Chains A and B, each alone.
Chain A
Amino acid sequence: MRRMDNRGDFIQRLGLDISINILNLLEDPSDLVRACAVSHSWSRFVIENSLCKQLCLKLFPELSSVTQVIEVENLIEPVKFSAGGSPEWERLKRDNRVYAFFAQGLTPLIKKDCIIEPISASSTDNYPDERIQNTLEPEDRIGYRASYWSSKGESDPNVPEILTYKLVAQLCVVTEIQVQPFQAYFQYGFPIYSSKAVRFRLGYSRHSLELDDDTREGMLIHHQWSDDDFIWTYTSPEFPVAQENKLQKFKLPEAVLCIGGILQVELLGRVQKQEMDGLYYICVSHVQVVGRPLSSPFDIDMLDSSGKWTLKYNPETLCCQSSTQLPEGEVDTPSRVRTFTTRLLQLLGNGPVGNNELDQEPPVL
């Protein structure tokens, strides 16, 4: 029996559809989080109806291809759950938390410059004039010189080249990668040193890339990685490259969640010989990554090399690396690091799927 007075929980009186409609119209994930804080029943309502996930997909439609990754991680694994909870409920609760953080943490506008720095090139000609850093320069020239990277020459056109980059955030949704081959306007015939095709890999490094300056510089000039240096969570199809001096856009068939922030650009097959020495080269003037990075004060940290990551919120951090949990009640250290562990990555065929820690208190890393 409906009552006409205004007492009683509005959501219950309105019924499911209208209540969902209203809460679905909220565009800020903070509003949904606060809705959860209103009461147990509201929290249950938000969680059961996956409202945070729906908001996430509304704000970032490209995430729809990525939710599989996130949800695979929230699989019902042997996990400790609170009394009275069912595995399905625990999964929904975890989804709620992950999507709330994502909705808040992902950059609202798509960024066109998601690479922060180069890591290595398989080879470089004329270092430092033709180094990999040039591919990140927005201009076509630096001073009097053209800005581009060049590989060393090879007589075999099938020798590939690999450029490795670090993305601006450890967690980034990548939608498109752009590459511009270089045209040598100072050579007869204006040759364009494109590759035949290009392929991209996204993933993370197994070992720390914090190295001394000399080693780092060495890698930027000439470095071959071994197979187990990286874990590649995504390998794109091969895209044909046109022999044109244009910024060519390679849209990934689906948006990809890059966890770990490493991009590799594989340049496959050489097409252009340099007249002077009769060797095949590959030259690139620009590389850009389009996507949505997880923005500060959110970040992720690799917990261990099995692919466990911690999603962190630290409002104090715009530069510091602190990830330890500070004791509560500490007045003079206002940093509020809040963490929760969600295994964002499943290593298919790379070992047993481990326990997912549903931490009740943040771990000390």
Chain B
Amino acid sequence: MANGENQNPNPNPIEATPGAAARTITLKTADGEIFEVEEAVAMEFGTVKSFFEDDAVSATKPMPLPNVSGSALSRVITYCRRSLEIRSMIPPATSEDATAAEAVQGEGDLEAEKAAKQERKEFEAEFLKDESNEDVKELILAANYLNIKELLDFLCRSVALRIQNKSVEYARKFFGIEGDYTPEEEAQIRQEYAWAFEGVDED
């Protein structure tokens, strides 16, 4: 999108929905990047939603996001956009007293739901594939700050998957923690719960 205001060096340029006069919301990250985001996507961010619901804040003034970096926000936007797309694959639920014809329609909905689930699974698997642990952490902090429940749940699950069956050292590195047990204390834990330290993945 050729927009004079956009100084975004981001490799994933935001494209406006072709032809539609979509309302966009401008966000400004901590490192000064400006993002113009479709309103539907931006409203996925709980923080943004309440910011604009509070009073008649002008949608053209960039909303500052002091705790989010440009790269993180870009990933977040990609996620939310795709998530919206997948959700739109599922037609609205049919009412309870549907006729037979509508019930058949309902079965079609079930198919659509299954397809959507599958899409989501594949999308989520791809999404974090090349992200380093650092990137994932940054995303969590961003998703937390922006209050995006779905993304946060997904990220939490991913972190749990990443640290499961990993060694204590790995967990320490991942979370940036210094171990503070004395060698004797640590030895005692490892002895008492020997079963927990067997068969751990190689770092």
Contacts and interface: CB of A to CB of B under 8 A. Distances in A.
A6 B137 contact: yes
Given A4-B30, A4-B67, A33 B176 contact: no
B191 A10 contact: no
A35 B191 contact: no
B196 interface: yes
A140 interface: no
Interface in B51-69: 67, 69
Contacts of A338: 191-194
Interface in B165-203: 165-168, 171-172, 174-181, 186, 189-197, 200
A102 B171 CA distance: 24
Contacts of A22: 156, 159-160
A38 B137 contact: no
A341 B165 CA distance: 28
B196 A315 contact: no
Contact of A37 (B67, B144, B153, B181): B181
Interface string A313-340: 1010000000000000000000010101
Given A10-B175, A14-B144, A39-B181, A27 B137 contact: no
Contacts of B145: 2
B172 A39 contact: yes
Interface hub of B67, B153, B168 (most chain A Cβ within 10 A) = B168
Interface in B73-87: none
A100 B137 contact: no
Given A4-B69, A18-B156, A42 B140 contact: no
Main secondary structure of the interface of B (DSSP, over half): helix
A28 interface: yes
Contact of A39 (B137, B152, B179, B196): B179
A22 to B, nearest CB: 5
A9 interface: yes
Contacts of A31: 163-165
Interface hub of A2, A22, A313 (most chain B Cβ within 10 A) = A22
Given A31-B165, A315-B194, A336-B191, A8 B159 contact: no
Interface in B121-148: 134, 137-138, 140-141, 144-145
A40 interface: yes
Contact of B192 (A2, A4, A30, A340): A340
Given A10-B176, A39-B180, A34 B168 contact: yes
Nearest to A360: B188
A14 B141 contact: yes
Given A315-B194, A338-B193, 9 more contacts: A6-B137, A9-B176, A18-B140, A18-B156, A34-B168, A36-B189, A40-B181, A104-B195, A313-B195
Interface of A: 2, 4, 6-11, 13-15, 18, 21-23, 25-31, 33-42, 100, 104, 297, 313, 315, 336, 338, 340
10 contacts: A4-B30, A10-B176, A18-B156, A25-B156, A25-B157, A25-B160, A33-B189, A39-B181, A297-B195, A340-B192
